[in-house]
Amino acid sequence: MHRFGNVAHFPKPSLSPISPQRKAAFAAIRLLYGEALPLWRFGRKGYCRRHKQCSGEIRPCLKRGWPLMPPALQKEACAQVAVGGPRRLPPSTHTEWMLRRYAPSNFVT
């Protein structure tokens, strides 16, 4: 006899790790934010400032530059990301399509 009587006990489902498809979607969306925002202005590398584009890891650049952007530019970047960035790239998966519409706080921090 089980200690809970005759009722089968099922453990609580644990939070599963982020799927590879979701990780790829987050990475693609961060790159779109990198294209839509002038993050190179806040870069620590002279290479980025000279070439006027972020050439390294985009996550620290977003984390450092996002709070310094005016709200109007942040909203414009969100709208650009939703449609595929300045190049209007279509989403590669349905997951990416859905995540493009989420708040930017999921991607920039």
- 71 domain residue, yes or no: yes
**77: closest CA among 66, 68, 93?**
66
Cα 101 from chain centroid? Answer: 11
User: What is d(CA 57, CA 29) in angstroms, rounded to the nearest whole number?
Assistant: 13
Predicted model pTM: 0.77
Q: Which pLDDT does position 10 carry in this prediction?
A: 60
What are the pLDDT tens digits along the chain (109 aa)? 555 556 566 665 555 677 889 999 999 999 999 889 888 887 777 887 888 877 778 888 888 889 989 999 999 999 999 999 999 999 999 999 999 998 888 777 6
Instruction: Give the model's pLDDT for residue 4.
Output: 55
In a domain, 7, yes or no: no
Residue 86 lies in a domain: yes
Does 2 fall in a domain?
Answer: no
The number of distinct structural domains making up the chain is 1
Q: Is residue 10 part of a domain?
A: no
* pLDDT for the residue numbered 74: 92
Per-residue model confidence (pLDDT) at position 14: 52
Residue 33 lies in domain:
20-108
Distance (Å, whole) CA 15 – CA 61: 29
